Structure 1
Amino acid sequence: MSSSSAVNDLLKGQLGPTLKNMTMPVIVGMITMMTFNLVDTFFISMLGTQPLAAVSFTFPVTFAVISLSIGLSIGTSAVIARIIGQGSLTQARNFATASLYLSAVLVTFIAITIFLFSRPIFFSMGASESSYMLLMDYMNVWLSGCVLLILPMICNAIFRANGETKLPSYGMAGAGVLNAILDPVLIFGFGPVPALGIQGAALASVISWSAACLLILYVLGAKQKRIYYWPHDWPATFDGIKQIAAIGLPAAGANMLTPLAMGVLTAIAACYGEPVVAALGVGSRIESIACIVVLALSMTLPPLVSQNFGARQIVRAHDAYRLTAKFVLIWQAGIAVLLAITSPWLANLFSNDPEVQAVLTWYIVIMPIGYGLQGVVILTNSSFNALHKPNNAVMLSLLRFFVFFLPLAYLGGFMWGVNGLFIGAVAGNVLTAIVAWRWLNKLFKRFECMQQQEEMAV
């Protein structure tokens, strides 16, 4: 897809079909990738409850690095899509190059920091000494290759800013398939390959995403000429770093609140024992699949909003947000019903421990009730960033986690035990969604009024 045709689709095509055409390839790629992440969890669960719990402790930390990458990809997409909407394609290429270098440096710094402070980080989450020794087998490998894990995310943001979603989706799908093939071989051993346990799961991820990274960089740079492998214009590169960081770092901060909240929730869950932590870890993986449409829309909606914002089509951007938010509420309601029906089967699939099964069943029944409202919050955050209002996204995330989600989850756990944690979390998503919907609609109305006033003045 050429840049010009993509721009025309985002600026002039019908909203429903345009979003559908952009989002479907992303969903296919993410389903493949996340399904095989669940396969990864399934193989680890075969090692026993303690290895499963140990890897569950790593989720908030690994997701913190991924959240930094997501934030930087949001900044990349918002800035480049706006520039493309204004017609500055050479500048977009310089800025895309800047985003890759900025991301590599920041993620390397974060990975080194996590390694140096791993003991206090994991023990503060409630990990025991034996769990810590197990989880570091995983983390040492994962941290060593995490730059190659995150660069494809930034590359995909560059594709999406140009309106292209098929190629990055194929890359995601391919990485997921390769990861699923390598998992049993490296975890349990095969022929001359020794059994590496949970370390093998981390190695499978690093190998598969390294392959995807090399392929995507080749297509993006050598084939489509949308990046330079080395900065071509240093002043433009530094300007790109500045503009992307202005949106990407606050967006990363907002996204990193999610693993921080997960870490606090894991610490609370650890008070109930390792089976509860294990159930929480599996439930989080199932949630990633259940919310896949929301996550895909959170990637494809921002370029549409940003390009139309850059082209001063504010009403069109507003309509796109409302359309996706309403769709997500309906879609996730159906997913919640489906999960409730299949909850006993899913719990039995991922654990043989009766205590893990019991907690996981209730997680799958209760938590999806709030997924649609959580989706509204996610879409609102991504739209704030697309409109170059990253501080609003940070404030909304702070409000969600530290005013609603964590306090209500803690209160629910105090009153009703483990199931109360889940009930409180759902209540937090309900209240945050109400605030998010009203806030962003008010901002769009203000932009529309400002544009009308400017047009009347002319």
Structure 2
Amino acid sequence: MIALMSFNLIDTLFIGFMGTEQLAAISFTFPITFTVISLTIGLGIGTSAVVAKVLGKGDNLLAKQHATNALIISLIMVAFLCVVGFLTIEPLFRLLGADETTLPYIKEYMEIWYIGCCCLVLPMVGNSVLRASGDTKTPSQIMALGGLINAVLDPILIFGFGPIPALGMQGAAIASLISWAVGTAVILYLLAYSRGLIYRRIPSVSCFVDSAKVILKIGFPAAGANMLTPIAMAILTAIVAVHGQEAVAAFGVGNRVESIACMVVLALSMSLPPFISQNLGAGNIDRVKQAYRKTAKFVLIWQLGVFSLLLFLAWPIAVAFSDDETVINLICWFIWIMPLGYGAQGIIILTNSSLNALHLPMSALLLSVLRLFLFYVPFSYLGGLIGGIYGLFVGGVIGNLAMMGVSVYTFNRKLSQVCAEHSKAELAKQN
């Protein structure tokens, strides 16, 4: 997860050296790029839940079938979304609040980003297959390789080096494209040849349809839930844009810092679901309950430690991303306020991923809708009306804290229902 989030963070870091307008431009792209990434993550969640449960039952051939078809489904869906995005760059970003000063930079970045995005989906969904089989080490190595390639190429392609011309925003996007392409080649080789977790042939139509029904039953709601986050971020970005380009730039940097500050939570949200799904398939409901509760306690303690660390690192982080005094000040306030709610946000994320692992994707989707459009965005908006940009930050924290209580209550209730259903099934078998 560090490697995955580092793509946007490193791009933002080097682009920040170009100026405030370029930094604001890359900040405008975050809700859109995260929409595509969220779709991919959602499909990965569906893939992981289905494959892990089947593996928990011991059916390796069916797991292989689902894994193969999951890659094809994901590629088709992301390709379609990227084509639509490519054709609507200008009107979409104008809707988000981009103006004539930032729009040219946005187009330079997004035109390349959309073209290469299909190379992002295969490593991410392929890594979900590996995690579903119990291997979390190899996916981290693949993403770390991609992150390293991106970090090396970014300054070279953005600012130029020797015979390589300075490509600016385009260079950042090309660096990501190259790193994704390498990741695609590695994951396909591992899955098809080294591990034998997918078939090396195109599946039949009936086989594809059967897998699609099972995977998308979880993948669609999970993708929808994940895509709600960037939609909410887009709304907030438009609200923040009222306060000026400096506020947008600071908000974009803050969101990228947040992605790193919450990396352990995000990692757990990727590794906990296969554990839950495998134990669900094997009938070990008590282990599911124990895993959720212990992980939730760990997240609260961990994020409190992260908040304490960020209190001291706010100024160095802000200075690293910008030399504009106003932007630096706003970044600091973001880091001093928003991480107060990261523990609660972590519980919300883990609850949603756990519900998907229990094959209850509509419950997870409902919680996502409630979190973003009943708590997070409205509370942030009201905070902004009362206290300006600083009030907006406080409102977001309050929204996360309120939603945490709803999430914990919902999970406990749903898990009790799963336990009751499991007990009935066991009793029926004995009779």
Q: TM-score range by the shorter chain?
A: over 0.9
The residue identity in structure 1 corresponding to 2:194 is K
2:144 aligned with 1:186: no
- Superposition deviation, residue 39 in structure 1: 2.8
1:114 equivalent among 85, 92, 98: 85
Cα deviation per residue 1:283-330 (whole Å; 9 max; x = unaligned)? 111111100100000000000100111111111111111111110011
Cα deviation per residue 1:237-260 (whole Å; 9 max; x = unaligned)? 321111111110110000000000
Q: What does 1:288-437 correspond to in 2, within 5 Å?
A: 288-437=259-408
- Superposition deviation, residue 33 in structure 1: 4.5
Once residues 51 and 444 of structure 1 are traced to their aligned partners in structure 2, the CA distance between those partners, rounded to angstroms, is 47
Once residues 201 and 79 of structure 2 are traced to their aligned partners in structure 1, the CA distance between those partners, rounded to angstroms, is 19
Check conservation: 2:7, 2:176, Cα contact below 8 A. Answer: no
2:138 aligned with 1:203: no
* Secondary structure in 1 matching 2:283: coil
Residue 141 of structure 2 aligns with which residue?
Answer: 170
Check conservation: 2:69, 2:203, Cα contact below 8 A. Answer: no
Identity %: 51
Structure 1 unpaired stretches of 5+:
1-29
* Secondary structure in 2 matching 1:417: helix
* Secondary structure in 2 matching 1:170: helix
Residue 129 of structure 2 aligns with which residue?
Answer: 158
Cα deviation per residue 1:94-139 (whole Å; 9 max; x = unaligned)? 1101000000100011001112222221111110023111101000
* Secondary structure in 2 matching 1:130: coil
Check conservation: 2:90, 2:107, Cα contact below 8 A. Answer: no
Once residues 203 and 321 of structure 2 are traced to their aligned partners in structure 1, the CA distance between those partners, rounded to angstroms, is 50
Residue 251 of structure 1 aligns with which residue?
Answer: 222
- Superposition deviation, residue 234 in structure 1: 4.3
Check conservation: 2:157, 2:167, Cα contact below 8 A. Answer: yes
Residue 38 of structure 2 aligns with which residue?
Answer: 67
The residue identity in structure 2 corresponding to 1:366 is I
1:180 to 1:152, Cα distance in 2 relative to 1, 3 A: same
Check conservation: 1:94, 1:233, Cα contact below 8 A. Answer: no
Residue 265 of structure 1 aligns with which residue?
Answer: 236
Once residues 35 and 223 of structure 1 are traced to their aligned partners in structure 2, the CA distance between those partners, rounded to angstroms, is 27
2:27 aligned with 1:53: no
Once residues 37 and 114 of structure 1 are traced to their aligned partners in structure 2, the CA distance between those partners, rounded to angstroms, is 18
Once residues 419 and 223 of structure 2 are traced to their aligned partners in structure 1, the CA distance between those partners, rounded to angstroms, is 28
* Secondary structure in 1 matching 2:101: helix
TM-score (normalised: structure 1): 0.92
Check conservation: 1:411, 1:421, Cα contact below 8 A. Answer: yes
Once residues 454 and 131 of structure 1 are traced to their aligned partners in structure 2, the CA distance between those partners, rounded to angstroms, is 59
Cα deviation per residue 1:212-254 (whole Å; 9 max; x = unaligned)? 1101110111111101232345433321111111110110000
Q: What does 1:70-89 correspond to in 2, within 5 Å?
A: 70-89=41-60
- Superposition deviation, residue 456 in structure 1: 4.3
Once residues 387 and 394 of structure 1 are traced to their aligned partners in structure 2, the CA distance between those partners, rounded to angstroms, is 13
Structure 2 unpaired stretches of 5+:
none
Once residues 375 and 304 of structure 2 are traced to their aligned partners in structure 1, the CA distance between those partners, rounded to angstroms, is 21
* Secondary structure in 1 matching 2:174: helix
* Secondary structure in 2 matching 1:129: coil
Check conservation: 1:91, 1:236, Cα contact below 8 A. Answer: no
Once residues 351 and 219 of structure 1 are traced to their aligned partners in structure 2, the CA distance between those partners, rounded to angstroms, is 41
Between stretches 265-274 and 443-452, larger displacement belongs to 443-452
Cα deviation per residue 1:269-296 (whole Å; 9 max; x = unaligned)? 1000001100011111111110010000
- Superposition deviation, residue 433 in structure 1: 0.8
TM-score (normalised: structure 2): 0.97
Residue 220 of structure 1 aligns with which residue?
Answer: 191
Check conservation: 1:367, 1:425, Cα contact below 8 A. Answer: yes
The residue identity in structure 2 corresponding to 1:55 is I
